[in-house]
Structure 1
Amino acid sequence: MPSSAVPRTAALAALVASALAAGLLTGSAASAEPAGDAAAGVRIHDIQGATRISPLAGQPVADVPGIVTGVRGYGSSRGFWFQDSAPDADPATSEGVFVFTGPGSTPPVKTGDEVLVSGTVTEFVPGGTASGNQSLTQITRPTVTVVSAGNELPAPVTVSARSVPSAYAPPGDPAAGGSVNALPLKPKTYALDHYESLEGVNVRVDTSRIVGATDSFSALWVTVKPYENPTVRGGARYGSYASQNSGRLQIQSLIPTAEQPFPKANVGDVLTGRTEGPLDFSQYGGYTLVARTLGTVADRGLQAEKTRPQRRGELAVATYNVENLDPSDPQEKFDALGRAVVENLASPDILALEEIQDDSGSKNDGTVAADKTVKKFTDAIVAAGGPAYDWRSISPENNKDGGQPGGNIRQVFLFNPERVSFTDRAGGDATTATGVVRERGRAALTLSPGRIDPGNSAWESSRKPLAGEFTFRGRPVVVIANHFGSKGGDEALTSHRQPPNRSSEVQRVAQARSVNTFVKEVLKADRRADVLVVGDINDFEFSATTKELTAGGALYAAVKSLPRADRYSYVYQGNSQVLDQILTSPSIDDFSYDSVHINAEFTDQNSDHDPQVLRFRP
């Protein structure tokens, strides 16, 4: 590269980096206006540079040489990757880059073509700059000259346990809002820097364990580090904010499905042989090996778990997010959920359900009742050989509880009347708060079922907790069913800000504080009261949300009673993690807990959550 090129663009690169860090670029493609004539003699490593932002961002380049290593002729991001066959000596500068030919285009090259590419260097942020995602350096508005065809591809760089550092990411620069964009890459020190130094490069992984099942977008996750936080069933456990599992890598395919359908795989299966292709950066998952050659899935026979039945003197309480269930869902889904309650959950005495939608589902027509949804579900349980569950719930105000517009999701209590009774105290509705009184020496709810603190701003556009009073063998038990605010809006682990922004946590912490305060009111009325807080907490057992729930010793997160390798209820981007929880009051100090793994690890799911079951003797 001419010596004049770097000084000419240094100020521009700094401007682009700071703008990205500050979130000032509003489009998905971050670039500056082209300045001057196209730089001659530029190689791909000059374009990529030694930071995440190209030193040539916004600049025209001419006749950049390389070999095409992959072509994407589908989707909205069509184009091709090409790579320099004459790399420099700097491990921080990638030798590959993506050429964006435009939506609906047919890339004018084939794998193995030797090409010269002219165009404009841009920084594209998948999902837009507001997402916090890292940017992808690419060449846009290209002119491509094919010099020759059928060339040998550059040898792939093997991504392995040895090559990927244990440390995940450098701390962001406080002066740049926590961004790592302008920091020099240290590929031997940090995993994200290692992957960034290979952006656009032809890479390979060898036989690797699958830690994220095939999803509806034809993607799966592997780990190249088989000993990094393994779960009992073959996943990779996310056990703290510092345990990001650096060996995880998303796998997609460039191979047309007509030639090779994308394989269906579960957690614990193995992607055998060689998987090779360019390393991309995706809006959904970050660094992604887009396979030109795809390995073969070896089925390891993962089976859905079954919990043991409760004993005569034990009360079994479960929680299950059934993923936007409504009457229009296929009968097969209801049947499968019903069988799961009977066969996998052993027909618990009390079952708190999350994401029960109203009777018209996602149709935004003002319907809020969910009688048909619940009946279809309870009928499916009976058909599977289970008990005839009774149920209690409170319908929300229309479109006031978040979730899918028109769906009006809510929590519902199912209970087996042959084993447990419900204490009805009338008056509960969407906006009236239940309270606590002392009755005959015990804590009692003023409304049952009733909502907790529904007027608190913490519950705005979110599901309000549903409290119910039950009696088992003459002993009262208070159960509070929850569905806290989602993690939507949080930045990904691969964010350009490190640590990533967890903005959604603010609402969940406030929600946890509200529930914790209510539990303390129950315990003030009766310190020996049996209280269970259950549901989709949407947060980890080590999170600030859980710490707020358990503040002052009011509750204990029962999932912590499990071995660490079994603490998970959800799999997200190859990380097995806790979102669903059951928390116990101090009087419940002897219990059996089970995270029943029947969904999250499987490509065929009836829900994306695993149910939780707790058994104890009141």
Structure 2
Amino acid sequence: MKTTATLLRWLAASLLGATSVSGQSIAQINGDRFLSPLNGHSVTNVTGIVTAKGPDGIWLRSVKPSCNKRVSDGLYVYGSALAKNTSISVGDVLVVDGKVSEYRTNKDYLYMTELASPKVRSILERGRKVEPLVIGKGGLNPPTKQYSSLDNGDVFAVPNNQSLISAENPLLEPELYGLDFWESLMGELVTIERPRAVGRPNQYGDTWVVGSWNTTGDNDRTGLTVSAADGNPEAILIGSPLDGTKNPKDTKLGDKLDAITGVVYQAFGFYRILPLTNITITESPAPEAAPPTSLVSEGTCKGVTVGSYNIENFYAGDVAHVQAVAKHIIQYMRTPDLLAVQEIQDDNGETDDGTVSADETLTALITAIQSFSNTSIPYKYTYISPLNDESGGAPGGNIRVAYLYRADRLRLRNPNPGNATTANEVLPGPELKYNPGFVDPSNAAWTNSRKPLAAAWEFVGGSNNNISGSTSKTLFTVNVHWGSKGGSTSLHGDARPPVNGGVEDRLAQAETTASFVSSILAQDPSAAVVTLGDFNEFAFAPPVALFGTRSGLADLDEAAGIPPAERYTYLYDMSSQELDHVFVSPALAAARSTRFEHVHANTWLPYSARTSDHDPSVAKFDIC
């Protein structure tokens, strides 16, 4: 970080000198860094062309461009009276006075340079033609990987929050870094040609897009999949239209949009473009719905299907949600033999009255599956209740992980359930002391978080599980839902690298989970072991990478050859990303029969149509 002495010198330079500066250009006000060199100064005779008007201010562009790629020729002039002045129109050339200000609504956000308390001295000209800058043309291309020079090459690096843009105020390098690129266009009128949506709109209709410029991480749905050190800085958020219209809230991943023209702005933690009018969808990708998994159980130990699905705050009282999840399990996941589910709430959901049982919740799911099935599917369930109000999630919900299993194909091996405080152990064999049982539930790593549930399974058959001459192995599974990323800061935020909320907790959880799993392989290197669920972290981030190394398991995406851009189960901001993972033991990873698929049952749909915020995944193994 910048030394105290250096920071004090910079502050002194910005505060000393004349309090009123005459004849400053817009380029001089913006400067070639994130913060204005004239912050706090009153300026007079600032001349610019009106490029847009909003409800709370107007935007000006320099009459004579600076021709410096580091410096924006656009400026936001904040003042509702000026914005509502009907005698001022786009194309007018104004001379204004005001005070240079750096504004942000939250300490974690970046500042935006603006001219406050404006006073119009004169209107020099009317009807000047205003042409937007076209992003993607004339060398105006956003960088595709790095966000800031302060990230030291990796926006996802740990430790994070090592410096602040507001303190360092680095020189803008718009050809290298995404934040610098958008800052160098702050206040400018721009156009995006051939835009497409790379994320869902939020409740206000704000939508992440890219245009006709280079992108990285493109998946088959034309979204941008996040990868190591690449957080997709080339995407930009389209905010509220300046004419008072509303952006659509049903925009989907991959939707093509009409050209967008608007002004570059900074608000609520992100650079954004405020369009002159609302987004228009011109074409949606086909098919509208994702296909179901192609992986179907063979009904023998040679072809066992295992699924994982975070079903988002699931409880029996939400009948519509119960039915929607049941249909997904049947139609998209094709009723896997074993299903690890996460975010199972207790029987009365978010009523915080001490209830921890989830029998009614899971029975409702099994009943719904039966009601929608063409044939009788004998699912059973198993789980362990957490201690009241100690597993995080929605208050009162007592979320936990659980298993559904087809009793006609699988059963718990030597059932012996643990409880909320008993720690599972790997006994000689290997066998589990508790089946199922929590992994080290008293460990501080699980404070206010879900405990992993370990179980051992065998295929239903004769006394030795012999199916057509093949003997079933014990299948060991660990169902995880690691701590949330709550407390993270925006990729466009002040802290660099951005804060990855809860990462220290997940590192500790990775160690604990890996230690348990590795003890199985220590006894039997050829054991069939699967750890799966919502890891709440990227595969390349330190917690998941650490787990893979310490556990001895292989990332099934890698083992099954899933293309990197297709590894996503979640949409967040501008990125398709994978928080849900499956890791398998070497014996399963090396087997030619092992297969794996992510089923995009939710990420392809508009917000209103999704069943969960996560996609399910399905794997197929030979455990004979």
Which TM-score band applies after superposition, normalised by the shorter structure?
A: 0.7 to 0.9
Find the aligned partners of 1:464 and 1:572 in 2 and give their Cα distance: 25
Cα distance in 1 between the residues matched to 2:573 and 2:126: 36
Asked if structure 1 preserves the Cα contact closer than 8 Å seen for 2:315 and 2:322, the reply is no
Pair 141,601 (structure 1): closer, same or farther in 2 beyond 3 Å: farther
Task: State the shift of 1:154 in Å.
Answer: 3.1
**Alignment CA distance shift 1:531-1:87 (3 Å):** same
Task: Quote the residue 1:613 is aligned against.
Answer: 618
Task: Give the one of 432, 435, 439 matched to 1:452.
Answer: 439
Aligned to 1:478: 476
**Cα offsets for 1:345-385 (capped at 9, x unmatched):** 01111111111222333333333223333233333222221
Q: Is the Cα contact below 8 Å between 2:392 and 2:398 reproduced in 1?
A: yes
Out of 349, 358, 372, the residue aligned to residue 346 of structure 2 is 358
Q: Separation in 2 of the partners of 1:279 and 1:13? A: 30
Determine which structure has greater relative contact order: mean sequence separation of CA pairs < 8 Å that are 6+ residues apart, divided by chain length.
2
Letter in 1 for 2:610: Q
Cα deviation, residue 566, structure 1: 1.6
Residues 61-100 of structure 1 mapped to structure 2, 5 A cutoff: 61-62=43-44, 64-73=46-55, 78-100=56-78
Matched, 1:377 2:377: no
Q: Is the 8 A contact 1:541 1:559 kept in 2?
A: no
| Equivalent position of 1:317 in the other structure | 306
The alpha-carbon deviation at position 141 of structure 1 amounts to 4.7
The 3 A distance-change label for structure 1 pair 155 and 113 is closer
Call closer, same or farther: CA 1:299–1:513 in 2, change over 3 Å.
same
Residue 453 of structure 1: how far off its partner (Å): 0.9
Aligned to 2:329, the other structure's residue is in SS state: helix
Please identify, of 92-101 and 403-412, the stretch whose mean Cα deviation from structure 2 is larger.
Answer: 92-101
Displacement after TM superposition at 1:499 (Å): 3.6
Distance 2:145 2:384 in 1: 47
Q: 1:435 aligns with which of 421, 425, 433?
A: 425
Q: CA RMSD in A?
A: 3.1
Task: Decide whether aligned partners of structure 1 residues 205 and 173 sit closer, same or farther in structure 2, where only a CA change above 3 A counts.
Answer: closer
**Correspondent of 1:291 among 253, 275, 284:** 275
Q: 1:54 matched to which residue of 2?
A: 36
In structure 1, the partner of 2:266 is: 281
Identity of aligned residues (%): 29
Q: How far did residue 481 of structure 1 move?
A: 0.8
1:237-292 deviation per Cα after TM superposition (whole angstroms, max 9, x unaligned): 21211x233421222231567x55526322222123x20001122335x2211111
Query: Following the alignment from structure 2 to structure 1, what is the Cα–Cα distance between the partners of residues 42 and 398?
Result: 51
d(CA) in 2 for partners of 1:145, 1:389? 77
Q: Does the CA-based 8 Å contact 2:517-2:551 persist in structure 1? A: no
8 Å Cα contact 1:60/1:119 also seen in 2: yes
- In the superposition, relative to structure 1, how do residues 260 and 434 fare at CA in structure 2: closer, same or farther (>3 Å)? closer
SS at match of 1:587: helix
Specify the alignment match of 2:599 in structure 1: 596
Tell me which amino acid in the other structure corresponds to 1:86: K
Equivalent residue for 1:413, pick from 383, 403, 421: 403
In the alignment, what sits opposite 2:329? Answer: 341
In the comparison of the two structures, how many residue pairs are matched? 577
Long gaps (5+) in structure 2: 1-5, 153-160, 466-471
Query: What is the TM-score with the length of structure 1 in the denominator?
Result: 0.85
Determine the C-alpha separation between the residues in 2 that align with 1:80 and 1:328: 50
Could you report, residue by residue, the CA deviation over 1:397-443 in whole angstroms, capped at 9, with x for unpaired residues?
222122222222211111121221134644522222111112xxx32
Find the aligned partners of 1:413 and 1:322 in 2 and give their Cα distance. Answer: 12
In structure 2, what is the Cα distance between the partners aligned to 1:170 and 1:394? Answer: 45
Distance 1:261 1:173 in 2: 33
Post-superposition offset of 1:113: 7.0
The answer to whether the 8 Å contact 2:51/2:59 transfers is yes
Q: Distance in 2 between matches of 1:336 and 1:72?
A: 42
Q: State the Cα distance separating 1:574 from its structure 2 match.
A: 2.2
Q: Deviations over 1:590-610 (max 9, x none)?
A: 211001111123223211111
Partner of 2:11: 15
Q: For residues 173 and 492 of structure 1, do their structure 2 counterparts lie closer, same or farther at Cα, with a shift above 3 Å needed?
A: closer
- Of 134, 138, 158 in structure 1, the residue corresponding to residue 114 of structure 2 is 138
Instruction: Give the drift of 1:68.
Output: 4.1
Q: CA deviation at 1:543?
A: 2.0
| Mapped partners of 1:398, 1:62: distance in 2 | 63
Secondary structure (helix, strand or coil) at the match of 2:571 reads: strand
Alignment map for 1:540-559 (pairs within 5 Å):
540-552=538-550, 554-559=552-557
Q: Which amino acid aligns with 1:163?
A: L
| 1:467-519 C-alpha deviation (Å, 9 max, x unpaired) | 12222243321211111122222333333444434353222121111111001
Which residue of the partner structure matches residue 140 of structure 2?
A: 163
1:98 CA drift (Å) = 2.9
Residue matched to 2:578: 578
Match for residue 292 of structure 2? 306
User: By how many angstroms is 1:66 displaced?
Assistant: 3.4
Helix, strand or coil for the counterpart of 1:172?
helix
Q: Matched residues in 2 for 1:276 and 1:584: separation?
A: 48
8 Å Cα contact 1:540-1:578 kept in structure 2: yes
Are 1:121 and 2:100 matched, yes or no? yes
Match of 1:108 in 2: 84
Structure 1 distance, partners of 2:45, 2:149, is: 37
TM-score normalised by the chain length of structure 2: 0.84
Unaligned runs of 5+ in 1: 1-9, 18-31
